[in-house]
Structures are given as structure tokens and as C-alpha cells.
Amino acid sequence: MGISDGRNNHIKDNLKCVAICIAMSMANMQYGIDVGAISGFQSMIGFLKVFGYRDEKLKVGWGIETKPQQLIASCLNLGTIIGLFTTPIFARYLGRRPAIWVGSLLTAVGCALQISTENLGVLSFGRVLIGLSNSFFITFANIYVSEASPAHLRAILGAFFGVWVNIGAVLSTAINLLTDRQFKTKPAYQIPLATLYFVPLVLSIIVFFIPESPRWLVVQDRLEEGEAALRRLRGKSLTEELLKEEFIEMVKGIEEEKAIAHGRQFLDMFRGTDRRRTIICVGAIVSHTSSGLWLYLAYGVS
């Protein structure tokens, strides 16, 4: 089924859906806040007094060993890897909105541990939880945007991933500078860590007022709910006929996917056309890592 010209309408006709998608993609800001905040801690006297050591030879009079640095960075990555094996369960059975609440709960616990502890092991566990929560935020926020946005606006709305990450990094770096100048004790790093509560709090409220992904509802054979969710997302941007067209197209596409899917759906990523998609996606992600950017973000001082 081809897409009718009426569905390729102007962005101003889709302001409701655009606002929902941009708000949901704000989840990516959490990663930027975390990276921006943590990268400045190793130069903060308040942080070094707790997790570093005294060294009069150094300019600031305090230093930090490689072990805390490695654990702070590596435990975040470990939590993200764990998330890769847990998010598919939520993606398949529990939907996008509940996953955001799970990510918010993990952040609350992980952040509280990091703020309150002076023990490196507890701090490291808190970093694991933050990594796990980030995997939920990044995965489900971007899935929601791709499934909820109109096809002709999907690329634009998807680009807000990078926008929000950078906004978060800039804001947290600014907060680091302010608290480091103001305090030479634990509040210097505790306050930036506390900013990690902001995004989960806002998102937890937002998801009360937005519909579940219509595509996910259709996959669960909840067709009436899926159509109602699509209707809420599109608002008055489409006529009844065009909205029915999009919904029927969605249902047929999902039915075709189910028809060609094998028993072990994980392996479908490496078969047929999906194999090419997998290679393209992995290649794009690897290009980020191979640039050395993540090494700089983990161990560089903002």
C-alpha cells in the first residue's frame, strides 16, 4: 500500500505528535548529564577527598588512582551491557511506558547510593544501576519516537537523540564548574549527581499523559487500543480516511513480519534483509566507538 500525499503533511500539522516525541526523547538527556557530571569529578577536591589520596606534589594537592577511575567508567558500561539482555523482555511484553518507569526507579536507587556512600564498592554498584537505567531510557525512548512519529518526520525527530545528549552534557558541565568553585567538600559532586533525578522525574510524569506505542499494541493483538493510541498521537493532522489507511498499513506490516519470522526471533537479525540492516546499524555504532570519543568522555576532565 502506498502512502497517500495527504499523510506527508507539514510539521505544523503534527505539533501534538512532535511535542510528544521530543518530550519522550528527552530521556537521552540523562546520559549526557551523567557523562558530563562524572567526567569532572576526578578534578574536584571534594570528590578526591573521599575517593582519592593526598599528594602535595600535585597542583590541587589531591590525586586519584586508576582503580576508581576504571570502576566508575567500566561499571556504567557493565550496567548498559546488562540492560541489553533485559530490555528485550520489556520490549516484547511490558511496553514502552512501563519501561520508562523502571528506568526511573533504577536511577533513583543508583543515584541515592552514589550520593550517600564513601565506599568505592557501593559507588561502583550505583554506577551499574545508572548504566542499566540509561539502557532503558535510551532504548525505549528512541523506540517510542520511531514507532509513534509520522514516517516523513521520523528522521528529524530521531535526530533529537544527539541534541538532548549534548544539552545534558553542557548543563552538567556548567553545574560541575559552579559547585566546584563553591564547595571543596562532598556537596561539590553530590549536587551534580542529584541532577540525575531531574529527567526521570519529568519523564515519569509525562508518560502518564501520552499513549502507549500503537505499534506495540498491535503486536500484542490489542488492535482497538492500538488504533485509539494512533488517533491520540495524530490528533487532527489526518482525516479519518487517512488515519485508517495508516493503521491498516501498520497492521499489515506487522502481520507480514510475524508471517516470515522464525521460531528464534533473535536470529532473524542475521537472516535475509534484516542481516543487512543489522550490519548497517552495528557499523554506525562501531564508528562512534572507534573514534575514541567514549574513552575521552570516560577519562577526560571537563
Q: Please report, for the domain that includes residue 20, its CATH number.
A: 1.20.1250.20
Q: Is residue 127 part of a domain?
A: yes
Instruction: Report yes or no: 168 and 31 within 8 Å, Cβ to Cβ.
Output: yes
**61 within domain boundaries:** yes
| Domain contains 164 | yes
Q: Is residue 95 part of a domain?
A: yes
Residue 300 forms part of a structural domain: no
Considering only CA atoms, give the Rg of the chain.
22
Taken in order 277, 139, 214, 262, the sign of the CA dihedral is positive
Say yes or no to pLDDT of 56 above 70: yes
pLDDT value at residue 11: 82
Q: What is the pLDDT of residues 260-291, one digit of tens each?
A: 765 556 677 777 777 888 888 778 777 766 66
Q: Name the pTM for this structure.
A: 0.85
Question: Is 241 part of a structural domain of the chain?
Answer: no
| Structural domain total, the chain | 1
CB under 8 Å to 96, separation ≥6 — which residues?
Answer: 140, 143, 144, 147, 212, 213, 216
C-alpha cell at 185: 567538600
Domain that holds residue 85: 10-210
Residues 6 or more apart from 194 whose CB is under 8 A from it? 111, 115
Residue of 168 and 265 predicted with greater confidence: 168
Residue 79 within a domain = yes
pLDDT at res. 93: 83
pLDDT of residue 74 exceeding 90, the answer is no
